[in-house]
Chains A and B, each alone.
With several copies, the nearest count.
Chain A
Amino acid sequence: MRTMMHEEIIFSGFGGQGVLFAGQLLAYCVLTEGRHVTWIPSYGPEMRGGTANCTVVVSDEPIGSPMSQHPSVAVVFNNPSLEKYEAPLKPGGLLVVNESLIVAPPTRTDIEIVILPATTLATELGDTRMTNMILFGALLSRRPLVSVATVEHILIEKLGARQAHLQETNLRALAHGLELGAAQHA
């Protein structure tokens, strides 16, 4: 029902995979670039069993609902998330999948799919926690919601002094994701 730019992005996976952080990172970037943005996590006992997800809405106009029934983008970090969000994704939407933790690949044909073994790649990069940055990169490669420069800048800011040592790996993970995401395009 809309004319102007409006995207609804869901990040979903286990707690500890940096799912919420990925969503917040996007939100901060959008804020810096001056668009309207909302971020909302799933909350409460759903979290039992360790699953976590959040929705980021990016829009050119004030945002009514921060929640989404039919997201335009879903970044799924594990199998339950894939099972949960493949179906509701809106036709033509983008599905970013962490191949490392799924049982069977997505089956929908009316959506755009990027699938990469993020956890394995992260482990190769020497830090499993980089899974989220790799998937984030892949997302950006297909939906340039914000500029890579903004992302790098905010990422460094958010890591801050205490986690400065993680800067480099994070940036490499991000780049890696961008690459692979773009590559699959061709």
Chain B
Amino acid sequence: MAIAAIAEEKIVYQRPESLEDISTHYCPGCTHGIAHRLLAEVLDELGVRERTIGISPVGCSVFAYKYINTDGAEAAHGRAPAMATGIKRVMPDRVVFTYQGDGDLAAIGIAEIIHAATRGENFTTIFINNAIYGMTGGQMAPTTLPGQRTTSSPLGRDVELAGFPIRMAELLSSAPGAAYVARRSLHNVKEINRAKKAIKTAFEVQLAGLGFSMVELLSACPTGWKLTPPEAMDWIEQQMVPVYPLGDYKVAEGVEQLAKRR
């Protein structure tokens, strides 16, 4: 995609084609924007935009379908994996993904994601873990850290009463139908690049028909966390990563080869 703009210059970075050229409704410093961009870049690089169908969640990324330049649908809160199942079962040759937040996927929608993974549904899930319910104004999510203050845990999450954070990557890796499950972070450029590779692998897994694939992305919600964007990035690194270790949690055989093939 490197086309020379003027004679002695070439463009080394520009907005991917799979991303609509419009401004998003996200808050300043919200990494939903980064996740969207990486997703779009991967769709471009795999050349599958024209045969991709994306499912948006209920959450701040409810409008993902506006931003991602593919066919798309808006799912009920937590049900994106069920919708994706319905679509993929009648159109196995299309590329299908769900994009879900942690309230959407780990709270109300945990049954649907676990069973989709268990059935080995052949779609890809981008899971945005920002440890909070962003859209509704910053309530506790299943992923909220112990002691973290939210509008529904004003004194900090009390694990005695509200339980411990759910680690979805670990949980889903135990599903036999899951082919690729990884956790990455978006808090700095190095991690962002790693995240993109994982997203690409996830879609390649789907294209190879190996089964369910998911990339969990540790993501920033400066507004919900009441931090500045730079502070939010540090918070991910210092607070979230220790609780949500980065890495690959499930790499079914067959997946390695894909990665190598690149």
Contact = CB atoms under 8 A, between A and B. Distances in A.
B223 A45 contact: no
Contacts of A48: 25-27, 60, 135, 223
B220 interface: no
The majority secondary structure among interface residues of chain B is: loop
A126 interface: no
B86 interface: no
Nearest to A45: B135
A49 B27 contact: yes
Contacts of B26: 48-49
Contacts of A103: none
A159 interface: no
Interface in A35-50: 44-45, 47-50
A10 B165 CA distance: 41
A19 to B, nearest CB: 15
A15 B26 CA distance: 14
Nearest to A47: B137
A49 B222 CA distance: 11
Contacts of A44: 135
A50 B228 CA distance: 12
Interface string B130-164: 00000101000000000000000000000000000
B168 to A, nearest CB: 24
B28 A45 contact: no
Contacts of B28: 49-50
A101 to B, nearest CB: 15
A47 B25 CA distance: 9
Nearest to A43: B137
Contacts of A49: 25-28
B133 to A, nearest CB: 12
B73 to A, nearest CB: 19
B202 interface: no
B223 to A, nearest CB: 7
A50 B135 contact: no
A47 B223 CA distance: 10
A45 B62 CA distance: 10
B27 A45 contact: no
Nearest to B25: A48
Contacts of B60: 45, 48
Nearest to B135: A45
Interface in A91-114: none
A44 B26 CA distance: 13
Contacts of B137: 47
Contacts of B135: 44-45, 48
Interface string B59-79: 010100000000000000000
Interface string B1-45: 000000000000000000000000111100000000000000000
A44 B63 CA distance: 14
Contacts of B223: 15, 48, 50
Contacts of A45: 25, 60, 62, 135
A103 to B, nearest CB: 15
Interface in B53-109: 60, 62
B253 to A, nearest CB: 42
A74 B226 CA distance: 28
Contacts of B27: 48-50
Interface of A: 15, 44-45, 47-50
18 contacts: A15-B223, A44-B135, A45-B25, A45-B62, A45-B135, A48-B25, A48-B26, A48-B27, A48-B60, A48-B135, A48-B223, A49-B25, A49-B26, A49-B27, A49-B28, A50-B27, A50-B28, A50-B223
Interface of B: 25-28, 60, 62, 135, 137, 223
